[in-house]
Every structure is written in C-alpha cells, then in structure tokens.
Amino acid sequence: MLFTLTCVCQPLSSLCSYFPYNSSSIKSVGSKVPSFTPEARESGYHIERGLEFSTGDAFFRQESATGRDLGVLAASLHKRDTGRLRILDALCGCGIRSLRYLAEAGADFVAANDGNEEYGSTIVENLSRVSGVEDGRWVVTHLEANRVMMDYYLQKSFFDFIDVDSFGSDSSFLRSAICTLKLGGLLYVTSTDGFSSGGHRPHHSLAAYGAYVRPMPYSNEVGLRMLIGGVAREAALLGYHITPLFSYYAFHGPVFRVLLRLNRGKIHDSRHYGYIGYCHQCGNSHEFSWDQLGQISCSCSTPKVSNSLVVSGPLWTGPLHDGAYLMDMLNLAKQWGWIGCDGKDSLEKLIKVMVDESDPKLPFGYIKLDEMASRAKINSPPLKTLMSAMHQKGYAASRSHIETNAIKTNCPMTECIKIAKELLKVSVA
C-alpha cells in the first residue's frame, strides 16, 4: 500500500535534506498554528502531565501513560548526557508521545510519523502547542514505518532515540530501527503479542523473534525476554550489541516495552542469549546454553530428558534492567515533581521495584505464591514475611513488577515451600 508523504514544519526546500523526494511529491498540511476554541475542547481532548492534547480519531490508551512517562524520562536523560536529542516516533498515533518528547524531554527535533493520513491534522494540532511550524522542531509524515526509517537511513540522517510503539509484534521494524539509530542511541520498542509470549503460538514467535516459546508460569517475563532477544539477534546481524536499560510490562493489552542502548561491536559469545527451561514436576527453572543442547534435563529426575521439562528459546536470559540508570530516572522524576503528585506514588513504586529486580543475583522468572501454596497444600504466608525469611537464609528476593503476588528469587521452589511451611509451623516432612 502506498501512503502520501505529508510534512509540516519547514519550507519545502529544506525538507529535501530529510527525504529524497521532489518538492512536488510533498503535501503540506496547515500553514499556521491552529487555534483552540472552547468548542473544540468539548470532546476528544485529554490532559497528561499537565499537557492538553487531542486524540481525534486515533486509537489512544490512557493506561499507557506510565510507558510514556518512562520514555520521556529516558529521552531527557539522553539529552542531559549527550547535549542532543533527535527523536523518531515511527508510529505516533495522535502524537501524544511526540508532544511530550518536545515539551518535557526538550527534544531538538521530532519526526512524528503515522501511516494514516486522517490523523495528520490532529498530530499537527498537538505538536503546534509546543512550537510553531516555522521553528523547525518537528515534522509530520504519513508513511509505512519501515519506509520512513529507511528513508532517513539512506539520507544518513540518524536519530538519538527511536520509539516504535506498534500493535502485535513489531519485529518487522527492528532492523530498520537499528539501522537508523545512532551508536549509543536508545531504542524503545513494544510488543502486544501476549499469545506468543504465553507459548500459544510457538511457530509465530519463532518466525517473529527467532524463539520457540512454550507455556510457562512467568510467561509475561518471557514476553519481555523474547522481545529483547529479537532485538539482540538483529543487532548482532548488523555487527552491534544491545544493553537493556529497563523492561516494563503492563497488563492492559498486554504491553511489553523495553528500552535498549545500541553499542558498537558484536559480542562473539552467546552470553545472555540461550534457553530457559521450566520443570512442571518440581517447579524449578533452569538456564541452558547452546552447548548443552541435547543434554537438557532437570535434577529432580533422571539425566534423561523428562516430559515434565519444557524449554523455550533462544531468549534473552540476562538482566532486564540497569539499576543505576533506573535510579537516575527516579531522581529526575522527583526533580520534575512527578513523584507523589497523584497521591499514589505509583511511578515511584514501579521504578523502585524494577531497581530491586535488577539485582544480579536474581535469575530469570518468578515464583507465584499461588503456585507455591498449591504445591505445598498450604495457605501462603504474607509476601513480605516470606521474602524476609528468604533474605535471612541468604537468598536474594524481590517483588516482581510484572506479577504482584510473585517473588523473583534464586531460592528453589522446594526450598521456598520449606521456608513457607516453617513460617506457618507446618510439618516439613
């Protein structure tokens, strides 16, 4: 399908530096900053972090505000650390993310792209709230996302931060995004493919991310690892490697969001990229490297492969977050007055749990207390009490931002059951 390229923000002559098109092929939308009458505000308008914007006919989720908060904080940190911030919002919808990158992160330039031309006037209206078209801080285009990214790549016009917020799997956009990103730049990618992460479409996850995923109790974490692994694979193909700065799961959708830094140089070993196994018999999880293929088993059974063991991969098996980076984000949120302003401190709680999850002693996955109680045939002790007992016995343990009634820990399931029974004064035998 062909889309008409629609650009707003600069004279047509200057647009040629962004796209290899003749000026006759570019259609301009609007010639001045729209006026916002009281009548126009009566419907389709929202306020997020003090910014008013219109959604028009574009799809919009208020619940995704936290993901936008995290993106803005990360973009602002990049501007602070590098002195520049050039952003591509590849599937911008109504333009709320682009608006916030301009207004809050202080982006020098934002390319807001959406394939649907009908959203054009809404996007322009929203971005015009920050600066007029004559300022040249933004451009609006209507192209397929891969097309717009590759056009910038061919013009050697690279970005510091690329946001790809798509429905379903966004694996088809990963290579174009990596090509268009500056080294050291940030890639903020999304997946809403909960069926694949849950192991219900293993052939689809294999085609999209190169990972054959089986059903596991911590499937939502697997979804994040599947997404990171897909980016790691594409980056390695192009001679780079990636570092996850944070990974965020939200139940609405569901939505899997990861922020990654693109680094120079391919890592020549399979560090943090392998296989995850879960044993239905004992409830323990294991990591398997590539050289263990054909020798996979669980210690609770004979050395032979057991039918109770399911294996998914290859996936990202390394850390989901960078704790120091998350603390920088939290400090910035406090400086901006974002913490405590809603009376719930939800953003602060989220980031603090993610910091706890970044403990290098913690393996992948988590233990659901309901599963532990079912195996032990007991009522589960309070989560805080159980975590405290684990710490006293020398295990690492933290809450999971993905599953509220679960613990990330290096404590095996069998030992977890033993600790729970001791707390409840139930016979361990």
pLDDT tens profile 307-337: 789 999 999 999 999 999 999 999 999 999 9
134 touches 162 (CB < 8 A): no
With cut-offs at 50, 70 and 90, classify the pLDDT of residue 253.
confident
Mean pLDDT, to the nearest integer, of 118-138?
94
With cut-offs at 50, 70 and 90, classify the pLDDT of residue 429.
low
Q: Which domains does the chain have, with CATH numbers?
A: 6-35+57-270 (3.40.50.150)
Residue 134 in 3-state DSSP?
A: helix
Angle between helices 65-82 and 346-357 (to 10 degrees): 70
Among the listed residues 233, 244, 310, the one whose alpha carbon sits nearest the alpha carbon of residue 279? 310
116 in the Ramachandran plot: left (φ > 0), alpha (ψ -120 to 50) or beta?
Answer: beta
Mean pLDDT, to the nearest integer, of 172-189?
97
Choice between 230 and 267, residue whose per-residue pLDDT is larger: 230
**pLDDT tens-digit map of 377-398:** 999 999 999 999 999 999 999 9
Tell me the average pLDDT of the chain.
87
CA distance 226 to 68: 21
* Lookup: tokens for 222: 């697997």
pLDDT at 291 over 70: yes
With cut-offs at 50, 70 and 90, classify the pLDDT of residue 399.
very high
With cut-offs at 50, 70 and 90, classify the pLDDT of residue 427.
low
Residue 408 in 3-state DSSP?
A: strand
